[in-house]
Structure 1
Amino acid sequence: MHKYIYGRSLVARICASPALAGLKVIDLTRVRSGPTCVRMLADFGADVIRVEPPIGVDPNEVAFSGNRLGGDFQNLNRNKRALTLNLKTPEGLEILKRLIASADVVVENWRPDVKRRLGLDYETLKAINPRIILASVSGFGQDGPYAGRPGFDQIVQGMGGLMSVTGHPGSGPLRAGIAVADSSTGLYAAIGVLVALRERDLSGEGQWVHASLLHSQIAMMDFQVARYLNEGEIPTPAGNDHPTSSPMGLFHASDGAMNLGAAGQGIWIKLCRVIGEEDLLDDPDFSNEKKRVTNRARLNAALEQAFARNTVAHWVAVLNDAGVPAGPVYDVPQMLDDEQVQHLKVCAHTQTSKGEAVRVISQPVTLSRTPASVVTAAPEWGEQTDEILQEIGIGHSDIERLRTDGVV
Structure 2
Amino acid sequence: MLQNTDSGAGPLHGLRVLDFTRVLSGPFCTALLGDLGAHIIKVEPPQGDDYRAIGPMRDGHSALFSVVNRNKQSLVLDLKQPEAVALVHQLAAEVDIVVENFRPGVADKLGIGYGQLSALNPRLIYTSISGFGQNGPAARRPAYDIVIQAMSGIMESTGFPDGPPTLVGEAITDVLSGLFASWGTLAALIGRDRSGQGTHVDAAMFDATLSFTVTAVARYLFTGKDARRVGNRHPLSAPFGAYRAKDGHFVLAILNNKLFAQFAQVIDRDDLAQDPRFASDEQRSQHEPLLRAAIESWAADLTVSDVVERFEKGAIPAAPIWTVRQALDSDQARYRQLLQDTDDPRLPGLRLPRQPIQFSAWENTPARPAPDLGADTDAILHGLLGLGLDKIAALRDLGVFGRQTPLEHTGDPS
TM-score by length of 2: 0.91
1:336 equivalent in structure 2: 328
Instruction: Determine the C-alpha separation between the residues in 2 that align with 1:75 and 1:361.
Output: 7
C-alpha change, 1:59 and 1:132, in structure 2 (3 Å) is: closer
Letter in 1 for 2:11: A
Checking the alignment, whether the CA contact within 8 Å between 1:139 and 1:213 is kept in structure 2 is yes
Q: 1:186 to 1:354 in 2, by over 3 A?
A: same
Is residue 397 from structure 1 mapped to residue 397 from structure 2 by the alignment? no
Q: Which amino acid aligns with 1:92?
A: A
Quick one: which of 377, 380, 388 aligns to 2:380?
388
Matched, 1:360 2:352: yes
Q: CA deviation at 1:283?
A: 2.3
The within-5 A match list for 1:108-257 is: 108-257=100-249
* Contact kept? 2:233, 2:240, Cα under 8 Å: yes
Measured in 1, the distance between the counterparts of 2:366 and 2:86 equals 32
Q: Work out the CA distance in 1 between the residues paired with 2:8 and 2:209.
A: 30
Q: Cα offset for 1:337? A: 2.6
1:286 to 257, 275, 278: 278
Query: 2: CA distance between counterparts of 1:19 and 1:53?
Result: 30
Q: Is 1:23 aligned to 2:15, yes or no?
A: yes
- 1:300 paired residue number: 292
**What amino acid is aligned across from residue 380 of structure 1 in structure 2?**
D
SS in 2 for 1:123: helix
| SS at structure 2 position matched to 1:251 | strand
Secondary structure (helix, strand or coil) at the match of 2:108 reads helix
1:313–1:164 Cα change, 3 Å: same
Q: AA paired with 2:318?
A: A
Report if the CA contact (8 A) 2:23-2:51 is conserved: no
Whether contact under 8 Å (2:181, 2:203) holds in the other structure is yes
Count of aligned pairs: 394
Moved more, 211-220 or 344-353: 344-353
CA–CA separation in structure 1 for the residues paired with 2:329 and 2:368: 24
Deviations along 1:274-322, whole A, 9 cap, x unmatched? Answer: 2222122232222222221111111101110111232211221221232
- Native 8 Å contact 1:48 1:80 kept in 2: yes
Aligned to 2:62: 70
Q: Judge which range, 283-292 or 163-172, deviates more.
A: 283-292
Q: 2:398, 2:7 → 1: CA distance?
A: 33
Helix, strand or coil for the counterpart of 1:237?
A: coil
What is aligned with 2:301? Answer: 309
Q: Report SS of the residue matched to 2:119.
A: helix
Cα 1:165–1:198 shift into 2, 3 Å: same
CA distance in 2, matches of 1:113, 1:150: 13
Please give the alpha-carbon distance, in whole angstroms, between the structure 2 residues aligned to 1:25 and 1:160. Answer: 30
Task: Output one character per residue of 1:309-365: Cα deviation in whole Å (capped at 9) or x when no partner.
Answer: 322112212212322100001122222232222222121110336464321112111
Give, as a single letter, the amino acid of the residue that structure 2 aligns with 1:135.
Answer: T
1:85 paired to 2:71: no
Aligned residues: CA RMSD: 2.1
- Say which SS state the counterpart of residue 351 (structure 1) adopts: coil
Say if 1:16 and 1:79, in contact at 8 Å, map to a contact too: no
Contact kept in structure 1, 2:55 and 2:64, CA below 8 Å: no
**SS at 1:97's partner residue?**
helix
Q: Distance in 1 between matches of 2:34 and 2:146?
A: 27
- CA change 1:273–1:87 in 2 (3 A) is same
Whole-Å Cα distance in 2 between the matches of residues 33 and 191 of structure 1?
13
DSSP 3-state at the match of 2:18: strand
Q: Given the superposition, is the C-alpha separation of residues 78 and 213 from structure 1 closer, same or farther in structure 2, using an over 3 Å criterion?
A: same
**Structure 1 residues 355, 252: closer, same or farther in 2, change over 3 A?**
closer
Contact 1:362 1:373 in 2 (8 A): no
Q: Residue 105 and residue 64 in structure 1: after superposition, are their counterparts in 2 closer, same or farther (change >3 A)?
A: farther
SS state of the match for residue 341, structure 2?
strand
| Counterpart residue identity of residue 117, structure 2 | L
Distance 2:315 2:257 in 1: 13
SS of match in other structure, 1:241: coil
2:409 matched residue in structure 1: none
Q: Which amino acid counterpart does residue 210 of structure 2 have in structure 1?
A: I
- What's the offset of the Cα at 1:79? 0.6
SS for the counterpart of 1:199 is helix
Counterpart Cα distance in 1 of 2:335 and 2:66: 23
Please give the alpha-carbon distance, in whole angstroms, between the structure 1 residues aligned to 2:10 and 2:25: 25
Counterparts in 2 of 1:34 and 1:145: CA distance versus 1, 3 Å: same
Contact between 1:166 and 1:175, CA under 8 Å: does it hold in 2?
yes
TM-score, normalised via structure 1 length: 0.92
Which one of 25, 33, 42 corresponds to residue 25 of structure 2?
33
Aligned-pair distance for 1:375? 2.8
